[in-house]
Structure 1
Amino acid sequence: MENSWKDQLHQALLKKLGPKKGKQFAEKYLPALSMSYCEQHTVEEAIGDLLQIDNLTPENPLAIVFYELTRGEHPLHIKLYRYGSSIPLSDILPMIENMGLRTYTERPYRIAIGPNQFIWIGDFNVSYAHANLLTLDQVNSIFNEALIKIHLGVCENDGFNKLVLGAGLSWREIAIIRAYAKYMQQIGFRFSQQYIEKTIAAYAGIAKKLIQLFYLKFGLKQNTASKKKMADLESEIQADIDGITSLDEDHIIRYFWSLIKATLRTNYFQLDSHGVPKNYLSFKLHTSKVPDLPPGQPLYEIFVYSTEFEGIHLRSAKVARGGIRWSDRPEDFRTEILGLMKAQKVKNSVIVPSGAKGGFILKKSLSMLDREQIKKEVVYCYQSFIRGLLDLTDNFENDRVVSPPNTVCYDDADPYLVVAADKGTATFSDIANAISKEFNFWLGDAFASGGSAGYDHKKMGITARGAWESIKRHFRELDINIEEHDFTVVGIGDMSGDVFGNGLTYTPHALLLAAFDHRHIFLDPNPDKLKTFEERQRLFNLPTSSWEDFNPQLISKGGGVYKRSSKSIAITPEVKKALAITQDSLTPNELIREILKAPVDLLFNGGIGTYVKASSESHADVGDKTNEFCRINGNELRCKIVGEGGNLGFTQLGRVEYALTGGLINTDSIDNSAGVNCSDHEVNIKILLNKEISQGKLTEKKRNQLLTKMTEEVAQLVLQDNYNQALVLSFSATNSLTYSGLYQTYIKELEGIVHLDRNVEFLPDDKHLLDRKAAGQGLTRPELSIIMAYTKIYITGELLKSDLPDDPYFATILETGFPSLLKKMYANSMQNHRLRREIIATQLSNQIVNSMGITFMYRMQIETGQSIADIARAYIIASKAYQIDDVHQLIESLNYKVTVQTQYELLHHVRQLMNLASRWFLHHRRLEGGIANNIAHYSQSISKLEKSIPDLMAGVTREYLDKIVTQFVGIGLSEKAAKKIAATRAMYTVLNVVEVATQNKFDLVRTAEVYFKVGSKFSLVWFRDQIGNDSREGHWNSLARLSLRDELDNLQRRLTIVILKNDQKKLDSEKLIAYWFAKNSFIHQRWDKLMEMLLSSSSIDYTIFFIALRELSTLITVE
């Protein structure tokens, strides 16, 4: 029978394939066919099998046929052809069943086609519940392709594959559904994937319509007809969903629809360099349109799905920046990245871009891979993730924004995407920049800062140097100069690290008593200052090092280096004394807790992990399980100062608890912001210079030389920001109790305007604020840090909404963000910088908050009702007219020469002047003439009168001025500096003098003489002091005081005008005043009586003030 069957097959092959090819097939395959195969197949079936087999190669090892036989109880069959080896049943059966089929039997056949070369055929007899609806001709191709892709790992093996037969969807179309489902898992969707799979399969018809909707929305043929089809289809989908009886199933199907509507872009229709669809899928979503998400979400996000990885990139604004990390949280990596994006948003408040963060997870099991294989897998997935982000990002071509190819966009132009290194990707900047080059992305190697042609943060030591600016500020609060005096330190980290290594080689005055990292504990109870400093430098300069590399001969008696794996560590008398320990022996974790609690000057964190929480928090609240056995509470710290060079060393509540005990601490986002700030400078510089390269005006080599040449100046620009932020926080902290009520209302305002969430940011509610006030405590530096960050975010955003950054005057503000060398070489090009407006808004926001404090803008808004942009205009005019930058530099030059309290007093004088002057410009509508014109006009007049101010004063005001000057000289100021700062209070009145002189065309000096003499004669300075001394809190009390001051200024201006207009005899000012008073003695006499009544009154309230001023106004009018 076998020979007869094979003869028939031979003849059939000759007929089917022709004599030559038929003979070759017969000679090659007929001997390999077994008896069982021959018995169970017809000749026609065998020809079909041989044609499939002949196409198999090691490169193309699998083929599938889905077919139907007329014989048998279950006529459906799947035949798998596999080159080399068979597919284990445990692998293939779940794949078949996930496609909605039940398997009854399998008949395996092995066909030898050469020495050690085999073809395996597996014939599966299957059934399908909806076989009556199945048309094999329509689904055969997509079924076969899908099963092959599933087997190869290109398509995931799960219940969504039921949609191949149930909805007639291809494996790539199903990937759209699957990708959305994976995203749903990441946003905390309450139903499991299994339930979602079951539901979507049950409503396969709606699933097919959802894919049709996706194609209509993002397909490349967009026209009126397609839009109408899309609208009609959405109506059908709505009706279909309304017909679902189960609420849960309705919610699931409707959510898929919502996600398609929330999607702005996709790379689904893009092709790779080989002209085939990409092996990953990217969606860009408008997060606010994703249903049921809690507050505090990003503006945009891109989700990238692949069978090999998944990733998310979250941006809080269009221009945003943050690191890309390799996450180890596959179940909830979006939650992790969202938390980091929020933290980055706060940290980035000092720089141009807002906060962003990205992360990806690997799906492949790494347990069987070695280190190099793992690295290769991470790099590959990182590269694919970066490509997935750039796929949906606009580009610039010849200064014109262009959308990605084959992409329909439902959002505005969006070309800004910048990434940075992060956990697991620390060395990947060059990899990212290579992809940027591959895409011809406009940012070039500014796409990922810190690459081979960027600033090396470790080499610059920039993050640690920034942290030291905060630490020095704290030490100034204690009147300690760390450049001259030794101080004790315990630390978290080791000398090989960037932050800890650079931090502990910053000054030889740091006496390191103890430190620890994840491997060792270092103890040196009585260090030799210079020798141990040099040894730390040696360790830092080694390619790799640990505390075990520290020369034991240089460790003081009683000290040593101990492994954290030790069972216990003996505590020597020297260590007991240095760290205030009483126990004789401790476990490593116990010793670490004692190190953290040591009564030292400084705790410096340059490591990884969270070591301090609040007593109200559990270890589970912290989330860092690794370090929970060596973690302490904030109220257990005995150090005077904490410097946070590393991230997340404290919980925010831990910081606050420590600060409330009197400890000096900011936040990690303040202390270590120099790193992100330096990167932002690099990006902005490269954007400027890369355009010069593209225009052929600069070579890349020359650009790199410029970057190197500017390294230290960039560092100084960054460090000045750190200095300024630390200063404004400390200054604000000294006044936070005084302005407790103001902060209480301001926090409420921030909740509304920038969606500040007190719970997320751990800010106290109103009750806790009142309790603190009753206890004599205000907001702490960690809390003020958060409020300051949101303040800067708000101001920057409001400035960008206005036309203020477009004012030509702000070319000078733009230049403050760049090194001086670029100002000289590329001043014109700088004005066309693609981030010009953003840089101006950021620089101005920083300048205002750092100079005027956290609540300045809010107070100005309350007092004047003006916009943020107009307040900024007024401040700039005032600060430049009065040359306040020079005054700030003068005060800064007094570091360590006078006490910090004295410096704060001087700054308070300057702030008072700027408050009054800014408000004056807003109140008198003096913004219309343009910023530059106003500055020129008022600065000239102010300069002209500044030296004359002391001579213009008389009586009590002159005595007060002389007293202040004497006081300032006594604390170390030069007489010139003392006079300049002491006169700030009086300098505000110059604005009124200029106003009167300009509007009435009076002589400026003569106007000033009369103005000041009027103030003296009518005791108006005393009157102002009484108003200013009123300490009643509340919004209305504040407005009442301001209204009184305004009226007082108005009356003094009116009196000055009246007197000068009555100057018929051209008398000198002294005689003119005397003449006028003699002529109008009734006014002066009436006012004197009012003043006597005021002085004799036991209590003075606003009613008396208003009556007195109204009386004076009436007297002037009568005259």
Structure 2
Amino acid sequence: MENSWKDQLHQALIKQLGAKKGNQFAKKYLPALSMSYCEQHTVEEAIGDLLQIDNLSPENPLAIVFYESPRGEYPLHIKLFRYGSSIPLSDILPMIENMGLRTYTERPYKISIDPNQFIWIGDFNVSYAHSNLLTLDQVKSIFNEALIKIHVGVCENDGFNELVLGAGLSWREIAIIRAYAKYMQQIGFRFSQQYIEKTIAAYAEIAKKLIQLFYLKFSLKQNTASKNKMAALELEIQADIDAITSLDEDHIIRYFWSLIKATLRTNYFQLDAHGKPKNYLSFKLHTSKVPDLPPGQPLYEIFVYSTEFEGIHLRSAKVARGGIRWSDRPEDFRTEVLGLMKAQKVKNSVIVPSGAKGGFILKKSISMLDREQLKQEVIHCYQSFIRGLLDLTDNYENDRVVPPPKTVCYDDADPYLVVAADKGTATFSDIANAISKEFKFWLGDAFASGGSAGYDHKKIGITARGAWESIKRHFRELDVNIEQQDFTVVGIGDMSGDVFGNGLTYTPHGLLLAAFDHRHIFLDPKPDGRKSFEERQRLFNLPTSSWEDFNPKLISKGGGIYKRSSKSITITPEVKKALAIAADSLTPNELIREILKAPVDLLFNGGIGTYVKASTESHADVGDKTNEFCRINGNELRCKIVGEGGNLGFTQLGRVEYALTGGLINTDSIDNSAGVSCSDHEVNIKILLNKEMQQGKLTEKKRNQLLTKMTEEVAQLVLQDNYNQALVLGFSAMNSLTYSGLYQTYIKELESIVHLDRSVEFLPDEKHLLERKAAGQGLTRPELSIIMAYTKIYITGELLKSDLPDDPYFAIILNTGFPSLLIKSYANSMQTHRLRREIIATQLSNQIVNSMGITFMYRMQIETGQSVADIARAYIIASKAYQIDDVHQLIDSLNYKVTVQTQYELLHHVRQLMNLATRWFLHHRRLEGGIANNIAHYSQSISKLEKSIPDLMAGVTKEYLDKIVSQFVGIGLSEEAAKKIAATRAMYTVLNVVEVATQNKFDLGRTAEVYFKVGSTFSLVWFRDQIGSDSREGHWNSLARLSLRDELDNLQRRLTIVILINDQKKLESDELIAYWFAKNRFIQQRWEKLLEMLLSSSSIDYTIFFIALRELSTLITVE
């Protein structure tokens, strides 16, 4: 029978394939067919099987046929053909069942072509619950393809695959549903994936319509007809969902619909270099359109789905930057990335881009991979993730923004995407930049900063140098000059690290008593400062090093280097004394806690891990389980200063707790912001120079040489920002109690205008602020750091909404973001920089806050009702007219020559001047004349009067000026410089002098003499001194003081005009006023009587002041 059947098959092969090919098939395959196979298959079935077998190879090892046959209990069969080996049932059965089928029997066959080549056939008899609805010819092709893709791992094996038969969807179409479900898992959707799979399979027809909607929305053929179809389909979907009786199922299906509506772009229709669909799927979503998300979400996000990895990239603004990390949190990596994005947003407040963050997870099991295999898998997934982001990012062609190919976009042009290194991707900048080049992305190697042609942060030492600007500010407040005086340090880290290594080679005056990293504990209770410093330099310059490489001969008596794996460590008398330890022996973790609690001058964090929390927090709240046994509370610290070169060394509440005990600390985002700032400068410079390269005006080699040449100047630009931020925080901390009421209302305002969340940022509520005030405490530096960051974010955002960055005058602000070499050589090109507006807004925001303090803009807004942009314009006019940059430089030159308190007092007077002058320009509507014209007019007049003003002053202001001038001349300043600093207290009045002289065409010098003489003669100076000494808090008290000052200014101007108009005899100013009084005896007598009553009053009463000034105004009018 077997031979007869094979003969029939041979003849049938010749008939179907022709004699030559039929004979070849018969010779090759007929001997391989077993008796059981021959008995159970017809000739026609065998021919079909042999055709499948002939297509198999090591490169194409699998084929599937979904068919109907009367054999078996059920008509449906799946036949699997596998080259070389069988498929374990434990692998294949779940795949079949996840497609909605039940398997009853399997008939296996082995086709041995030769001893080294065989084919395995598995014939499965299956049933389908909805077989009455199944048309096999319509689905078998997509079924066969899907099962193959599942088996090879291109398609995931889960319940979504039921949609192949249930909805007639291909495996790629199902991937759309699956990708959205994976995203739903990351945003904390309350239903499990299994329940979602079950629900979507139950409503397969709606799932099919959702995919149709996706196709209509994003297919390239967009026209009126497709839009009409889409609108009609949405109505159908709405009706279908409304008909669902289960609330939970309604919510699930409706959420898929919402996500499609929230999607702005997808790469689903894009093709790879081989013309095939890409093996990952990217969605760009407008996050505000995603339902049920809590506050504090990004503006945009891109979710990239693949069977190999999943990733998310969150951006808080269109222009945003942040690192891409390899996450180890597969269940909630979006939560991790969102928290980091929020932190990055705060950290980036000093630079052009807002905060962004990205993260990806590996889905392959890594337990069986060796180190090199794991590295390659991470790189592969990182590359695909980066491509998935660039797939949905616009590009520039010349100066025209172009969307990605084969992509329908439902958002505005969006060409800015910049990434950075992060956890697990520290060395990947060149990899990312290679992909940028592959995409011909306009940013080139500015896409990922810090690559081989970028600034090497470790080589420059920029992060540590920035941290030292904060530390030096703290030491100045303790009257310690670290360039001349020794101070004690304990540290977290080792000399091989960028931040710790650069940090501990900054000055030889830092006496390092102890340090630790994840391997060792270093103890040197009485170090030789110079020798220890030189040894640390040696270790830092080694290719790799640890504390074990430190020369033990250079360690002082009682010190040593100990492994953290030790069971216990003996504490010597010298170490006990140096670190104030009582115990004779400690475990490594116990010793680390004692090091953290050491009574030293400085704790420098340059390592990894969170070591300090608040006493109100649990270790679980912190999240860093690795270091919980060596962690302490903020109130246990005994150091005077903390420098946070590393990230996350303290929790925010830990910082606040330490600061409330008197410790000097900012935040990690302030102290180590130099790294972020340096990268931003690099990106902005490369954007400028890359355009020159694209136009053929500059070679890459020359550009790289230019970057190298500018390294130190870029570093100085960065460090100046760190200096200024530390200064404004120190000044604000000193005055935070005085202005606690103002901060209380300002925080509420920030909650409204920039969605500041006190609970997220750990800021005290109003109750706790009042309790602090009652205890004599204001906001701490860590809290002020957060408020300052949100202030800068707000100001920058408002400036960008305005036309201020488009004003040609602000080219001078643009220049402050670039090295002088670029300003000199590429001034014209800078004006067309693609981030021109953003750089201007950021630089101006930084300048305003760093110079004027955290609450300046808020106070100006509530006092004047003007916009941020107009206040900024007025401030620029005032600062340039008074040459305030020169005054700041003079004050900075007093570092270590006068106390910080004296410097802060001088800064207070500068700020008072700028407050009043800014308000004056707004009040007198001087913005209409143009910024440049106003600056030219007022600066010229102020310069003319500057030297004579000190001699015209009177009252308390005159006494203060003489005292300050004497003090500053005594420490070596020229009398001219001393007077320039001191005179800021009274220079505001010059604006009124200029106004009177200009409008009435009076001589400027003569007007000044009379103006100041009027002030003293009419005791208006006394009024100002009284108002200035009033420190009562509250919005209305503040407005009352401002109104009184305005009234005083108005009266003094009017009196000056009235008197000068009568100046027909060209008398001296004293004589002129006496002459005027003689003519107006009643006014003099009435005013002197009012003054006598005021001077006898025991307290300041605004009501009396207003009445008195109104009386004087009336008297002048009568005159």
Which range, TM-score by smaller chain? over 0.9
Give the conservation status (yes or no) of the 8 Å contact 2:955–2:1022.
Answer: no
Q: Bigger shift: 64-73 or 91-100?
A: 64-73
Give the distance between the partners of 2:496 and 2:489, measured in 1 at CA.
Answer: 18
Secondary structure, counterpart of 2:198 in structure 1: helix
Give the conservation status (yes or no) of the 8 Å contact 1:446–1:687.
Answer: yes
Secondary structure, counterpart of 1:532 in structure 2: helix
Give the conservation status (yes or no) of the 8 Å contact 2:956–2:1025.
Answer: no
User: How far does the alpha carbon of each residue in 1:774-832 deviate from its partner, in whole angstroms, 9 at most, with x for none?
Assistant: 00000000000000000000000000000111111111110110001001100110111
Offset, 1:403: 0.3
Match of 2:567 in 1: 567
Secondary structure, counterpart of 2:51 in structure 1: helix
Match of 1:914 in 2: 914
Secondary structure, counterpart of 1:491 in structure 2: strand
Offset, 1:1099: 2.9
Secondary structure, counterpart of 1:132 in structure 2: helix
Give the distance between the partners of 1:749 and 1:597, measured in 2 at CA.
Answer: 38
Give the distance between the partners of 1:1116 and 1:1027, measured in 2 at CA.
Answer: 22
Give the conservation status (yes or no) of the 8 Å contact 2:216–2:230.
Answer: yes
Give the distance between the partners of 2:434 and 2:91, measured in 1 at CA.
Answer: 39
Offset, 1:1098: 2.6
Secondary structure, counterpart of 1:515 in structure 2: strand
Match of 1:35 in 2: 35
User: How far does the alpha carbon of each residue in 1:695-733 deviate from its partner, in whole angstroms, 9 at most, with x for none?
Assistant: 000000000000000000000000000000000000000
Match of 2:556 in 1: 556
Change in 2 beyond 3 A, CA 1:666/1:524: same
Offset, 1:1076: 1.2
Are 1:590 and 2:590 counterparts? Answer: yes
Offset, 1:741: 0.2
User: How far does the alpha carbon of each residue in 1:340-371 deviate from its partner, in whole angstroms, 9 at most, with x for none?
Assistant: 00000011000000000000000001111111
Give the distance between the partners of 1:502 and 1:257, measured in 2 at CA.
Answer: 53
Give the distance between the partners of 2:153 and 2:819, measured in 1 at CA.
Answer: 52
Offset, 1:951: 2.8
Give the conservation status (yes or no) of the 8 Å contact 1:593–1:631.
Answer: yes
Give the distance between the partners of 1:412 and 1:715, measured in 2 at CA.
Answer: 35
User: How far does the alpha carbon of each residue in 1:867-893 deviate from its partner, in whole angstroms, 9 at most, with x for none?
Assistant: 110110011000000000001000111
Give the conservation status (yes or no) of the 8 Å contact 1:909–1:981.
Answer: no
Q: Bigger shift: 1002-1011 or 39-48?
A: 1002-1011
Give the distance between the partners of 1:1069 and 1:633, measured in 2 at CA.
Answer: 67
Q: Bigger shift: 532-541 or 166-175?
A: 532-541
Give the conservation status (yes or no) of the 8 Å contact 2:890–2:981.
Answer: no
Give the conservation status (yes or no) of the 8 Å contact 1:337–1:359.
Answer: yes
Q: Bigger shift: 798-807 or 525-534?
A: 525-534
Offset, 1:961: 3.3
Offset, 1:1008: 1.1
TM-score calculated relative to the size of structure 2:
0.99
Change in 2 beyond 3 A, CA 1:973/1:741: farther
Give the distance between the partners of 1:969 and 1:704, measured in 2 at CA.
Answer: 47
Give the conservation status (yes or no) of the 8 Å contact 2:32–2:113.
Answer: yes
Change in 2 beyond 3 A, CA 1:638/1:73: same
Secondary structure, counterpart of 1:841 in structure 2: helix
Give the conservation status (yes or no) of the 8 Å contact 1:898–1:972.
Answer: no
Give the conservation status (yes or no) of the 8 Å contact 2:72–2:125.
Answer: no
Offset, 1:834: 0.4
Offset, 1:427: 0.4
Match of 1:981 in 2: 981
Give the distance between the partners of 2:1020 and 2:573, measured in 1 at CA.
Answer: 69
Give the conservation status (yes or no) of the 8 Å contact 1:897–1:972.
Answer: no
Give the conservation status (yes or no) of the 8 Å contact 2:740–2:778.
Answer: yes
Give the distance between the partners of 1:1100 and 1:242, measured in 2 at CA.
Answer: 70
Match of 2:1010 in 1: 1010
Offset, 1:73: 2.3
Give the conservation status (yes or no) of the 8 Å contact 2:476–2:900.
Answer: yes
Give the distance between the partners of 1:142 and 1:479, measured in 2 at CA.
Answer: 78
Q: CA RMSD in A?
A: 1.0
Structure 1 segment 622-701 matched on structure 2, within 5 A: 622-701=622-701
User: How far does the alpha carbon of each residue in 1:15-67 deviate from its partner, in whole angstroms, 9 at most, with x for none?
Assistant: 11111110100010000000000000000000000000001111111100000
Give the distance between the partners of 1:331 and 1:71, measured in 2 at CA.
Answer: 46
Give the distance between the partners of 1:745 and 1:753, measured in 2 at CA.
Answer: 13
Change in 2 beyond 3 A, CA 1:1023/1:55: same
Change in 2 beyond 3 A, CA 1:743/1:956: closer
Give the conservation status (yes or no) of the 8 Å contact 2:186–2:331.
Answer: yes
Offset, 1:981: 1.8
Change in 2 beyond 3 A, CA 1:73/1:958: closer
Change in 2 beyond 3 A, CA 1:364/1:956: closer
Change in 2 beyond 3 A, CA 1:1078/1:961: farther
Offset, 1:968: 4.1
Secondary structure, counterpart of 2:127 in structure 1: strand
Give the distance between the partners of 1:146 and 1:1112, measured in 2 at CA.
Answer: 93
Secondary structure, counterpart of 1:577 in structure 2: helix
Change in 2 beyond 3 A, CA 1:955/1:855: closer
Give the conservation status (yes or no) of the 8 Å contact 2:954–2:1021.
Answer: no
Give the distance between the partners of 1:729 and 1:982, measured in 2 at CA.
Answer: 23
Offset, 1:1002: 1.4
Give the distance between the partners of 1:156 and 1:352, measured in 2 at CA.
Answer: 41
Offset, 1:1100: 3.2
Give the distance between the partners of 1:455 and 1:322, measured in 2 at CA.
Answer: 16
Give the distance between the partners of 2:918 and 2:1011, measured in 1 at CA.
Answer: 21
Give the distance between the partners of 1:113 and 1:1116, measured in 2 at CA.
Answer: 119
Offset, 1:977: 2.4
Secondary structure, counterpart of 2:87 in structure 1: coil
Give the conservation status (yes or no) of the 8 Å contact 2:736–2:779.
Answer: yes
Secondary structure, counterpart of 1:109 in structure 2: strand
Secondary structure, counterpart of 2:927 in structure 1: coil
User: How far does the alpha carbon of each residue in 1:207-248 deviate from its partner, in whole angstroms, 9 at most, with x for none?
Assistant: 000000000111110011111111111111111111111111
Match of 1:81 in 2: 81
Are 1:95 and 2:92 counterparts? Answer: no
Give the distance between the partners of 1:951 and 1:627, measured in 2 at CA.
Answer: 64
Give the distance between the partners of 1:184 and 1:954, measured in 2 at CA.
Answer: 71
Change in 2 beyond 3 A, CA 1:859/1:971: farther
Offset, 1:590: 0.5
Change in 2 beyond 3 A, CA 1:961/1:535: closer
Give the conservation status (yes or no) of the 8 Å contact 1:747–1:787.
Answer: yes
Give the conservation status (yes or no) of the 8 Å contact 2:84–2:117.
Answer: yes
Give the conservation status (yes or no) of the 8 Å contact 2:347–2:789.
Answer: yes
Offset, 1:526: 1.2
Secondary structure, counterpart of 2:929 in structure 1: coil
User: How far does the alpha carbon of each residue in 1:270-300 deviate from its partner, in whole angstroms, 9 at most, with x for none?
Assistant: 0001000000000000001100101110000
Offset, 1:135: 0.5
Offset, 1:967: 4.2
Offset, 1:969: 3.8
Offset, 1:982: 1.8
User: How far does the alpha carbon of each residue in 1:305-341 deviate from its partner, in whole angstroms, 9 at most, with x for none?
Assistant: 0000000000000000000000000000000000000
Secondary structure, counterpart of 2:105 in structure 1: strand
TM-score calculated relative to the size of structure 1:
0.99
Give the distance between the partners of 2:951 and 2:484, measured in 1 at CA.
Answer: 42
Give the distance between the partners of 1:977 and 1:951, measured in 2 at CA.
Answer: 15
Offset, 1:70: 3.0
Give the conservation status (yes or no) of the 8 Å contact 2:737–2:779.
Answer: yes
Q: Bigger shift: 797-806 or 550-559?
A: 550-559
Secondary structure, counterpart of 1:928 in structure 2: helix
Give the conservation status (yes or no) of the 8 Å contact 1:656–1:783.
Answer: yes
Match of 1:1085 in 2: 1085
Offset, 1:1070: 3.5
Match of 2:173 in 1: 173
Give the distance between the partners of 2:247 and 2:228, measured in 1 at CA.
Answer: 29
Give the distance between the partners of 1:444 and 1:98, measured in 2 at CA.
Answer: 45
Offset, 1:1069: 3.2
Give the distance between the partners of 2:369 and 2:321, measured in 1 at CA.
Answer: 33
Structure 1 segment 337-376 matched on structure 2, within 5 A: 337-376=337-376
Which runs of no fewer than 5 residues in structure 1 stay unpaired? Answer: none
Secondary structure, counterpart of 1:988 in structure 2: helix
